[in-house]
Structure 1
């Protein structure tokens, strides 16, 4: 665990022939600058954190999206580096079963975790969120109340998580009010992300929701290159179907239409998304979020990858 934080801070390379290994989070804990470092064509997006920034400023630089919670703040990553331990999960391995007491705090180091109500792949399945590298593995699941888990929390790709017991984490957080406030803010924003996902599932048609899923995914794990956004080829049809709770046939028909219109182009282990489709998704979110919460959102989708 000694070099966990250094590994997480290194930009992950996209390897076209190994899509399950592509999903890696890169975070640069630059404590002296307000500006996020540039992202190269071979790296995932980076998020810069600083002790000088108020908590709300750090999170305001990362627009809130549904289904994927905000990345864990670098100071919380530092703490997990020191006190956590790593666990490797095969696809289908559960972090929490429904009804199991919640006693651990975990962050995804590699892979993908689903936070869902049903069994993955079942007809009634409806995932309420995804957690990739840098995300809390279980969203805001009862971190403060320690109540039993509702729904299942399991890996859907080969996954590594870093975890520690709540008791150990809170012993440190209680002695540091800023750290405690940071965790509370992280949990609150995770809850808002989930609520935004429920709003999308309730108020949007399937095609609108599909566009928003792509924006959520690429805003976390893609990078801007001209009029396209490039992301690892990890978001499969079955995952999209489960997130939206729609039929595989509908996903296939829409995917075929988008291929004909060159909306989404696959090259090996990476996917190119046309920027205009993501701009449409952002406009949907702008309209939806302002109706739901009255909060402003960047109107130009490029702002998601051009943080300052």
Structure 2
């Protein structure tokens, strides 16, 4: 049986600093963790769906054919890029999902095609399942949900695109820093110059997210202990946020200078913006 996460970790992941429409448009793209679902969509899906309790390690579907949106209400899930459940345990996770986010269902909503991946609970989780057919009916009656839902699907795809770029172009230490920066932006808390974040799953999950072996992960953690003072306490880690400046710079360049959702040049200022209201800088 997988070791359970602490209650403090579970509570930390339940925090949704923002996801109201239209503010979702001002959330900067971040990799490895899907963006929050707009509140208006969450509420509509919660009232129409069926409740699920999923133990850690269990898959939502027995194949790559996904028929429902799964909206997480508590816990952590992962998407394994693998054609069947037997391979999923050793395959990479390309994205994580937490409370207020879709675990799956967004990728093939219109096409109804197989998703080329498996979706599973990383921690014990609670969720709401709404079938694609039911969502068709909801959108027919609630046309005000169309733009928020499809904007969310689009920014999820952009988050995945950024993650693919990071996996292809950046070193292992930079990939790890990108994951830490994402979690710091959504779940971090400042503590006398440090940033404290809940761990993005167990060590094995982090290895699969960033495509690193356990040996490499030991080296990456040792490096961040030296350069960022990184320490772990239970299900949380703390580090100096300035150590994430280089990957923050990479993401700013990926945005391009013409982006209306520009990030502050300084990573600490960026995290202060995100942790105050969950939003990046808004255009005037």
Where on the TM-score scale, by shorter chain, does this alignment land: which range?
0.7 to 0.9
**2:39 pairs with one of 63, 68, 74:** 74
Other structure's SS at 1:137 match: strand
1:306 equivalent to 2:276? Answer yes
Q: Which moved more, 1:192-201 or 1:141-150?
A: 141-150
String of CA shifts for 1:134-187, please: whole Å, max 9, x gaps.
111116321122222321111121121111122222212122322111111111
Check whether the contact 1:67–1:213 (CA below 8 A) recurs between aligned residues.
yes
| Shift in alpha-carbon separation, 1:25–1:169, aligned structure 2, 3 A | same
Instruction: In structure 1, list runs of 5 or more residues that go unmatched.
Output: 1-15, 28-45
Check whether the contact 1:23–1:133 (CA below 8 A) recurs between aligned residues.
no
Instruction: In structure 2, list runs of 5 or more residues that go unmatched.
Output: 280-284
String of CA shifts for 1:79-134, please: whole Å, max 9, x gaps.
1221122111112211134442x321111111211112134442xx2211111111
Other structure's SS at 2:238 match: strand
Partner of 1:5: none
Q: Which has the higher helix share?
A: 2
Partner of 1:252: 218
| Shift in alpha-carbon separation, 1:261–1:205, aligned structure 2, 3 A | closer
| Shift in alpha-carbon separation, 1:139–1:266, aligned structure 2, 3 A | farther
1:267 and 1:79 map into 2 onto residues whose CA distance is 38
Check whether the contact 1:173–1:179 (CA below 8 A) recurs between aligned residues.
yes
**1:142 pairs with one of 88, 93, 108:** 108
Please list, as runs of the form range in 1=range in 2, the aligned pairs for 1:7-26 lying within 5 A after superposition: 17-18=6-7, 21-26=10-15
1:193 equivalent to 2:159? Answer yes
| Shift in alpha-carbon separation, 1:19–1:48, aligned structure 2, 3 A | closer
Check whether the contact 1:98–1:149 (CA below 8 A) recurs between aligned residues.
no
2:162 and 2:184 map into 1 onto residues whose CA distance is 17
2:152 and 2:223 map into 1 onto residues whose CA distance is 38
1:208 equivalent to 2:174? Answer yes
Please list, as runs of the form range in 1=range in 2, the aligned pairs for 1:238-249 lying within 5 A after superposition: 238-249=204-215
1:110 equivalent to 2:74? Answer yes
**1:285 pairs with one of 236, 247, 251:** 251
Tell me how large the CA RMSD over aligned residues is: 2.4
| Shift in alpha-carbon separation, 1:121–1:146, aligned structure 2, 3 A | closer
Alignment size in residue pairs: 265
**2:18 pairs with one of 35, 47, 52:** 47
